[in-house]
Structure 1
Amino acid sequence: MKKLLLLGAFALFGGIAHAQEGFRLGGHIGAPLGDAADAASVTIGVDAAYMWNITKGLDIGATTGYSHFFGKDQVDDFGFIPIAASGKYKFDKIPLFVGLDLGAAISTKDYINSGLYVAPRVGYQMKNAELYLGFQNISSRYKNHGGYWYDDDRYNFGAVNFGVNFFLK
């Protein structure tokens, strides 16, 4: 199932990247929160999205990327690939925006399930780029395999991120 979702995401974004209309590419760095803070010291990632302008100030689209959590204290690194719907509202007359990504996050480790992905953000809008401060959360289930967590419970792998996105036209 994970491979099918990944294949679909790459096919979607391969076609979108070719069109070059409304394509956004960037990266982020952040501090893990919640259960991720117990196991990881820092997270970095890349982001890609394609946005359509629906009405003045409102953009809707699709997003993907990769967030890598660097493990600490004998914990393996782990990561997630989000596949989500994305929305962004740019305020009139001031260069600020709010946004929200909502979808699924595919785990790169077999012992962490994929889960619900939620990522709100606020930012500063420039002509060809944007700076943002955001929160990402992946609600997932950890499969007990003798690692850091010792039960089959739900966990929240979250982070506060600072990022930059560039618009490619």
Structure 2
Amino acid sequence: MKKLFLITGLLLGFNTIYAQQNDIDITSDNSWLKAGLTAGVPLGDASDLSSFNMGVDLRGQYLFNPNLGIGVASGYSHYFGKDGVDDFGIVPLAGFVRYYFTPSGLFLGTDLGYGFLTNANNNDGGLYVNPQIGYHNRDWNIYAFYQNTFAENDIDLQTVGLGVTYNIRF
């Protein structure tokens, strides 16, 4: 329950920062949908249950300026079970922030939210954290990530992997 309050507080904090801008103008130069794929290798508790993970990554982003973007992130990460373990997955619902050093080049970012587990007995999910480092240009983002869901019953589902997203402007 403490984690849920933390997530709610952080999302409300992002909303307060966003509301301080009085002249927000959403254009194809500062707002877009990112859609892509991820692939990873489970670590820790997750490596006992799965040997590979694939997923889809969906994000809506708004740039405050050329260097700072915020938004919402979701998608689905599918863990392929091993040794008689059923496949399971994570559906994240998170806010994210990214810092772009230049208009084309290196970026750092992180997602913070809640990861809902699918096909997991006695476990609904938990705090979801997904730091990233990558390369971006006007159309593409290619990044390495470390994803961790601090699930109930003292289970940490960790994955390290690569992702790629395409920017769809609206």
Q: TM-score, normalised by structure 1?
A: 0.79
Instruction: Please say if 1:33 is aligned against 2:43.
Output: yes
**Displacement of 1:93 after TM fit?**
6.7
Instruction: Give how far 1:110 is off.
Output: 4.6
Equivalent residue runs for 1:90-101 within 5 Å: 90-92=100-102, 95-101=105-111
C-alpha displacement of 1:127: 2.3
Q: What is the aligned length?
A: 140
How far the C-alpha of 1:94 sits from its partner, in A, is 6.2
- Among all aligned residue pairs of Structure 1 and Structure 2, give the percentage whose two residues are the same amino acid: 37
- 1:59 aligned to which of 66, 69, 72: 69
Unpaired runs of 5+ residues, structure 2, are 1-26
Task: State whether structure 2 residue 126 is matched by structure 1 residue 115.
Answer: yes
Q: Which runs of 4+ in 1 moved over 4 A?
A: none
Aligned 8 A contact 2:76 2:89 in 1? yes
Partner secondary structure for residue 76 of structure 1: coil
SS at match of 2:147: strand
Q: Cα gap change, 1:162/1:99 in structure 2, threshold over 3 Å: closer, same or farther?
A: same
1:163 matched to 2:132? The reply is: no
| Structure 2 SS opposite 1:22 | strand
What RMSD over aligned residues (CA atoms) do the two structures have, in Å?
A: 1.6
1:115-169 per-position Cα deviation (integer Å, ceiling 9, x unaligned): 100000000112200110000000112xxxxxxxxxxx31100100101010001
Q: 1:102 to 1:78 in 2, by over 3 A?
A: same
**Residue aligned with 2:47, SS:** helix
Contact 2:67 2:103 in 1 (8 A): no
Supply the AA of the counterpart residue of 2:53. Answer: T
Tell me the secondary structure at the aligned position of residue 127 of structure 1.
coil
